[in-house]
Structure 1
Amino acid sequence: MGVKSPIPYRWRKLGVKYLKYGMNFAHGGTGVFNTFVADPNMTTQIDFFQELIKTNVFNASNIESSVALVTLAGNDYSAYNFRNGSAQGYPSFITSVVNQLKVNLKRIHGLGVKKIAVTALEPLGCLPSSTATSSFQRCNGTENSLVNFHNLLLQQAVAKLNKETKASTFVILDLYDSFMTVLKNKGDHLGSTKFENPLKPCCGGISSGYSCGSEDKNGIKKYTICDDPKSAFFWDSAHPTQEGWRAVYLALQATLEQL
Structure 2
Amino acid sequence: MYSLMKLFLISFSLLFGGINGEMGSNQLLGPRKVPKLFVFGDSYADTGNTKRDTEAWALPYGITFPGKPSGRYCDGLIATDFLEKVLGAESPYLYRTHGRKKKIKRGMNFAFGASKMLESSPNSPFPNITAQVNFLVDFVLAGRVYGDITPSDVSLISYAGGDYIYYIDQNRPAAGLKAIVEKVVDNLHVNMIILSGLLFKKIAVTSLQPIGCLPSYTSSSSFKSCNESQSALVELHNKLLKKVVAKLNEQSRVMKKGQHFFIIDIHNAFMTVLKNKGSKRFKNTMKSCCEGYCGRSSDGKKLYTLCDDPKSSFFWDEVHPTQEGWRSIYSVLGKPLTEFLTKP
Cα distance in 1 for residues equivalent to 2:97 and 2:220:
40
1:149 Cα offset (Å): 1.1
**2:272 equivalent in structure 1:** 181
Cα-to-partner distance string for 1:59-97 (whole Å, 9 max, x where unaligned): 564344311011111111122234543101111111111
* Secondary structure at 1:56 match in 2: coil
Distance 1:50 1:233, change over 3 A: same
Cα distance in 2 for residues equivalent to 1:158 and 1:221:
45
| Counterparts of residues 1-259 of structure 1 (less than 5 Å) | 1=86, 2-12=88-98, 19-34=104-119, 38-58=125-145, 61-166=148-253, 167=258, 169-185=260-276, 192-205=279-292, 211-216=293-298, 218-256=299-337, 257-259=339-341
Normalised by the size of structure 2, how large is the TM-score? 0.67
1:231 Cα offset (Å): 0.6
Cα distance in 1 for residues equivalent to 2:167 and 2:269:
25
Cα distance in 1 for residues equivalent to 2:291 and 2:134:
37
Q: Amino acid of the residue matched to residue 295 of structure 2? A: G
Contact 2:105 2:146 in 1 (8 A): no
Cα distance in 2 for residues equivalent to 1:119 and 1:31:
14
1:169 Cα offset (Å): 1.2
Q: Which moved more, 1:113-122 or 1:62-71?
A: 62-71
Q: Amino acid of the residue matched to residue 302 of structure 2? A: K
**1:208 equivalent in structure 2:** none
Q: Which has the higher contact order (CA 8 A, sep 6+)?
A: 2
Cα-to-partner distance string for 1:110-167 (whole Å, 9 max, x where unaligned): 1111110100001111000010111100001121232111000000111111111115
Cα distance in 1 for residues equivalent to 2:176 and 2:336:
33
Unaligned runs of 5+ in 2: 1-85
Contact 2:160 2:209 in 1 (8 A): yes
Unaligned runs of 5+ in 1: 206-210
* Secondary structure at 2:174 match in 1: coil
How many residues align structurally? Answer: 248
Contact 1:53 1:59 in 2 (8 A): no
Distance 1:52 1:9, change over 3 A: same
* Secondary structure at 1:117 match in 2: strand
* Secondary structure at 1:133 match in 2: helix
1:233 Cα offset (Å): 0.4
Cα distance in 1 for residues equivalent to 2:260 and 2:232:
28
Contact 2:154 2:203 in 1 (8 A): yes
More strand by share: 2
Cα distance in 2 for residues equivalent to 1:235 and 1:224:
11
Normalised by the size of structure 1, how large is the TM-score? 0.88
Percent of residue pairs bearing the same amino acid type: 46
Contact 1:35 1:76 in 2 (8 A): no
Cα-to-partner distance string for 1:224-258 (whole Å, 9 max, x where unaligned): 10011111000000000000000001011123122
Q: Amino acid of the residue matched to residue 164 of structure 1? A: Q
* Secondary structure at 1:88 match in 2: helix
